């Protein structure tokens, strides 16, 4: 069982400066896709999940994630080009 929280905002505020750089105009992106956290700058994510072993070869894996992406609405983030809220459920 696990829980994870990620926050790529600046000191907890949406300032539009996360993953940006004054000299390197692509910031922390390469060809529009984030190099650090997959959500990019000015994002928050919380996820919980776990793995249940049924026997030595079989298991069930589950994850629930909720994220607020590109809260500064910066066009450079091609993974999430607009502000959005995402909820995902993964069961395998």
The 10s digit of each residue's pLDDT in 34-45 is 998 999 999 999
Which pLDDT value is given to residue 24?
A: 81
Q: What is the pTM of this model?
A: 0.82
Q: What number is the average pLDDT over the span 1-9?
A: 96
Q: What number is the average pLDDT over the span 15-38?
A: 88
Cα 46 from Cα 87, distance rounded (Å): 10
Per the prediction, the chain carries an average pLDDT of 93
Which pLDDT value is given to residue 16?
A: 87
User: Between the CA of residue 43 and those of 1, 81, 85, 91, what are the distances in Å?
Assistant: 24, 12, 10, 24
User: Between the CA of residue 36 and those of 7, 33, 47, 51, 60, what are the distances in Å?
Assistant: 12, 9, 18, 26, 29
Query: pLDDT > 90: what percent of the chain?
Result: 76
Q: Give yes or no for residue 14 having a pLDDT over 90.
A: yes
Q: Give yes or no for residue 61 having a pLDDT over 90.
A: yes
């Amino acid at each position: 069982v696990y829980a994870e929280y990620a926050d790529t905002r600046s000191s907890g505020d949406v300032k539009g400066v996360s993953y940006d750089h004054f000299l390197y105009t692509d910031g922390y992106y390469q060809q529009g896709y984030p190099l650090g956290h997959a959500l990019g700058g000015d994002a928050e994510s919380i996820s919980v999940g776990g793995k249940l072993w049924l026997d030595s070869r079989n298991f069930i894996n589950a994850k629930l994630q909720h994220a607020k992406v590109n809260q500064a609405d910066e066009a450079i983030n091609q993974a999430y080009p607009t502000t959005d809220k995402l909820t995902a459920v993964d069961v395998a």
